[in-house]
Structure formats: C-alpha cells, structure tokens
Chain A
Amino acid sequence: MATTLFILRRLLQAVVVVFIVTIVVFCLLHSLPGGPARGVLGVHATAQQIAQFNSEQGLDRPLPVQYVLYLGQLLRGDLGESFTLNAPVSQLIVQRLPKTLVLTLAQAVLALVVAIPVGMWQARRRNRPSDYVLTTVSLVLYSTPVFFFGLILIALLTQVIPVLPSQAPSGDTLAQVFSDPAGLVLPIVTGAAAMVAVFSRFMRSATLENLDEDFVRTARAGGSSMRSILTRHVFRNSLTPVVAMLGYYVPVLFGGSLVVEQLFNYPGMGLLFWNAAQSSDFPVLLGCVLVIAVATVCGTLLADVLQAIIDPRVKTTRS
C-alpha cells in the first residue's frame, strides 16, 4: 500500500516536472532574438517577414495563450519543422533516437561488465595498494573529457597502430549501422570509459556497505567462503542500486552521446543536435531538449520505482 502511494506520488511529481520543462523550453523559444519566427524563418529574415509570420501563426497573441497552443501542439506530437533538413522534427528524432539508444546501451553494458567486478574486487581489498591504484585510475578516467579520451584512442588505434576505422558506420537504418561492427568499437569504448569510473566507484561503496551487514557475518559464521558470500549475497544486494543508477544517469548518457557521436560521426541524435547547433536550427535543438528531458524524468521515475519495489526501505530515506 505504502509502495503504491509512493509510486503514485512520484508519478505526479514527474508530470509536474515535465510541465515545468515545457515552460523552460517555451521561454527559450521566445528568448530567441526575433522569437520563434526567427527560429522558423532563419537568421536572414527581415523584420517585415517576421511580423507577417507572427500574425499568421498567432504569435502576436498574449504569451499564456500561446503557451496553451504550444502545449496542444506538443500533445499531438508536433515538434515543429526543421528548416535546414526540410522535415518534421519529430520524424528526425524518431529516425535518430534508436541509433543513439543502441550505442548508449552498448556503452552502458560494457561499462557495467567491467565496473561491477572491479568495484567488488576493490571493496574486498579495501585500503590495500591495489585498491588505491584502481581508485586513482577511476579518478583519472572520471576527470578525463570524453572527447580527449576519444582523440587519444583515435591517434593510437587508427594512426600509430592502424587496427580500427576512425569513423563510425553511417547509414539511415540500424541494419546499416550494424553492418560494420569494427567501426562501432571506438565509439562504444570511448563512451564506456567515463561510465566505468562512476559505476566502479559506486559498486565499491555499495559492496563495502553490504559487507558490514549482519547477513554477511552470519554467513561467515556459518562457514561460507568469502567468494560465495560475495557472489551469492553481496552481489545481488549491490546490484539493485547500481542498475537503478542507470536510470538517474540518463542525462549523462545523452550528454556523452553528443560528444561521442560528434567525434566519430555516428548518425544518432547527438550528431543531429550538434549539426543543428552549428546551423542555429532551433526547432530541432528545442525538440531534442524536450525529448531528452522527458527521457530523463522517465529514467529517474523508473529508478525510484524499481528501488521502492525491490527495497521498501527506500521510501523512508528518499522522497
């Protein structure tokens, strides 16, 4: 019952947050010099063209009225038209988003596969030299700009020892992207590196917390080996917060995809956004921001709900 209430309250909160995000995006749209008309007509439109467009589109009406109209458009899935790519923004995003999702998912899986054992191992060897070395490595990885790490990988693996292609596979469909797996190696590894640093740090402290729990002492007293305690009890208990963390991590994942896609020319939403920023394609920029914000809110919501269902103690500590 308490769990249901918690989930309902979080759901309501999420709706409110999305609502505030639409207000922020609406304000951004109207803070463009020349307003949304400039966004649609481009930077070279004359004042007269803008005035005509404004009266045609109802943009001379009071802002609250316009906001309601804007909200209505959004609810119908209408994000406006890109003026450089001659296509509806929603269509562009639907085309690009799956590719970004596949790439970030691959990065996250690789990062988890590396970070979980590393974090657990560090926790077991707490405060020994190997723990310090790995802590330092993850600090360095965390402090490394993703693009710099990518540049070094490109220089080393495509120029010094040319074993990999430097460009990600291009193409409109997912099948075309998958047709060149070698081209995906660098984008995936580059994006995963920073995540490994965060996840391993998190896994280390989650494992440490669990190692202090009574059930570990009981299992020890019952004669279980440390290895079996780690894999059978601690691992499962530490996994939930780490997986839930993926949910809180959605904005960072999108941020990373922006840089990685730009660096390797991977045709996802990050590259769409970057190109739009270069050409001041505001409908595309704001449409992407809106989609990412909604994805973030959903990620946080899912993570909260997941934790509340699996571990009822969450409700008392987080709200």
Chain B
Amino acid sequence: MSTLLQSTPELAVAAGPTGGSLAWRRFRRNRLAVIGLAVVIFFVLFCFVGPLVYHTDQTRTDLHAINLAPSAGHPLGTDAVGHDQLGRLMYGGTVSLMVGIAAGLLAIVIGMVWGSTAGYLGGWVETVMMRVVDAGIAIPALFILLVISAISTPHVLGLIVILGLVSWLVPSRLIRAETLTLKNRDYVLTLRAFGGGHTRAIGRHILPNSISTIVVSATFQIADAILLVAYVSYLGLGVQAPQTDWGGMLSQGLDAAYAGRWWLIVPPGVAIILVVCAFNAIGDGLRDAFAVRGR
C-alpha cells in the first residue's frame, strides 16, 4: 500500500521541499560551494548587467588605441585592435557562459534520454547503446571538434549543439547506472502492473528519482563545457570576430606573453579559472548535499 502512495505525484511533490531544504542546509555548510555560487552570480551580473553600466565599443576597431597598458581610461588596457579589455571581458563572458551552460544542459538532456532508455530496456539494446557510448568516449572531444570545425565554421548556436553532441557520454553512463537501480523498485513495478506505459515509467518515476544525480552531473558538465569552449576558441575554432569569448581572447595570448602584455592574458584566463572552479565547487557541494556517488 505504501508503495502505491509513494507513486502518486501529489505526495511526491509534498515530500519534495523537505528533502530539498535538507539538501540546501547541507549545501550551505560547504563553504567552498557557497563561495562558488557567489562567484557564478557575480560573473553573470558582470557579463550581462555590466555592459549596461560600463559602455564600450566591441564591434569597431580603434587603431589609435592599440595595446595600451591599463590606465584610468581603460582599467584593463586595450588589445591589438584597440578593444577595451574590461568591456571585452564582459562581452566575451556572455558567449563563454551562454555556450557553456547551454551545451552542458544539452549534454545532460541527451545523456538522460540515452542512459535511461538503455538502462530501462536492458538486453541487447542496452549493450549496443552502451558500446556506442564507449566508442564515443574513445574519440577525445577536442579532436572531433577540430575535425568538425575544419568542415564548417560554427556560430554560437552551432557551437552549443556541437559541444552538447560531444559531451553527453559520461552523463549517459551515470544515468544508466541510476536507472538500473530504480527500474525494479516497487513503485515502477506497480505502475507497470497497472498498465502504465514505459514512457510514463521513465518520465514520471525513474528520471524524477534520479534528479540528484542529474543535477550534480549537470553542474560538472557545465564546468567542463566552459573549459571546452575555451579550448576550442583558443585553438582558433570558436565564434568568429568581432564576436569573441574568453578562450578567443586568449588566442592571441602567445604574442602577448612574449611582448609582456599581461593584461591581455591574465584577466580572461583568471575569469575562466574562477567560473570553472565555481561550477566544480558547486557540483562538489551538491554531490555531498544529495549524497550522490560519482566523480
């Protein structure tokens, strides 16, 4: 009887906040994770609200003001074509954050569908689906991204889709493992016995019960995706000028490093490190708060 009660959505929702607030209390106790959350909020405000306060021209070049060291007029100096670096840091950050977060979430959605389907169906379908995942993991993402970029030049949306398509593999493994433990629970079996469909079993019971695994994995995925965007752009294959992102700002870093123009490499580099650290710290905090295994 109790299993029947558990499977009614109303009660599941009513039980939710208690579990959620408990997890939040545990999360808050992790100092590193709370700092991480603050850092993410700061950078979101910095990149999306900052340009409303600090106006710069990031589309036209200004050849009268190239490679200026930091000064009162340009707090972080200017680059080789005269863009103000503080403004560029905000401008590039919007692309880094948007692409990273969207690609991370896309990867989770694909991984969720693939992993839960494979785990739920079992048998040879599962074997084939998971070997496909193995094969995908065998080809490092960076290499496949370079091949794709040699075929076509991506725009922001294309970049999100491509990054999502190369990074869903690890989450799909985690969610498959979770599905394996959940699919034989009483409430799923009860639903099936009463004639409930497979889609309903996965969508209404298995995935909602894997939510902690999904949230934790999503956080790490976003961290990884932001790093991956940086690599792709650094290698000269990201969004095209005049658009840029933090990795793209670093692509002229080698020249800057030799010329001693530290203000061209340190700010975007530090921004990447801080944001990626922050998402990883949040992920660690969430994992401990939900008591999820993995990574």
A residues near B (Cβ < 8 Å) are: 13, 16-18, 20-21, 24, 28, 31-33, 136, 139-140, 142-145, 147-148, 151-152, 154-155, 158-160, 166, 251-252, 254-255, 258-259, 262-263, 273-274, 276-278, 280, 282, 285-286, 288-289, 292-294, 296-297, 300
Contact = CB atoms under 8 A, between A and B. Distances in A.
Contact of B277 (A16, A143, A276): A143
Interface string B201-238: 00000000000000000000001000100110011110
B281 interface: yes
Contacts of B149: 277
A305 to B, nearest CB: 15
A145 B272 contact: yes
Interface string B248-276: 00100110011010100110010011001
A254 B140 contact: yes
Contacts of A262: 235
Interface string B16-53: 00000000000000001000000000000000000000
Contacts of A136: 32
B247 interface: yes
Interface in B97-143: 131-132, 134-143
A296 B137 CA distance: 8
A151 B260 CA distance: 11
B291 interface: no
Contacts of B140: 251-252, 254-255, 292, 296
Contacts of B137: 251, 296
Contact of A143 (B134, B151, B227): B227
A158 B257 CA distance: 9
A148 B251 CA distance: 10
27 contacts: A17-B138, A21-B135, A32-B151, A139-B280, A143-B227, A143-B272, A143-B276, A143-B277, A144-B273, A148-B265, A151-B265, A152-B266, A155-B262, A158-B258, A254-B140, A259-B235, A263-B254, A276-B150, A277-B146, A277-B147, A280-B150, A285-B147, A289-B147, A292-B143, A293-B139, A296-B137, A296-B138
Most buried by A among B144, B147, B227, B280: B147
Interface of B: 32, 131-132, 134-144, 146-147, 149-151, 223, 227, 230-231, 234-237, 247, 250, 253-254, 257-258, 260, 262, 265-266, 269, 272-273, 276-277, 280-281
Given A277-B147, A277-B150, A297 B273 contact: no
A37 B149 CA distance: 18
A13 B131 contact: yes
B250 A255 contact: no
A152 B269 contact: yes
Most buried by B among A18, A276, A293: A293
Closest 10 CB pairs of A and B: A143-B276, A20-B135, A148-B269, A251-B140, A296-B138, A293-B138, A155-B257, A277-B146, A143-B277, A17-B134
A14 B121 CA distance: 22
Contact of A140 (B227, B265, B273): B273
Most buried by A among B32, B139, B231: B139
A151 B261 CA distance: 12
B273 A258 contact: no
Given A147-B250, A151-B265, A20 B273 contact: no
B143 to A, nearest CB: 5
A293 B135 contact: yes
Contact of B231 (A33, A147, A296): A147
B280 A143 contact: yes
A274 B146 CA distance: 8
Nearest to A145: B230
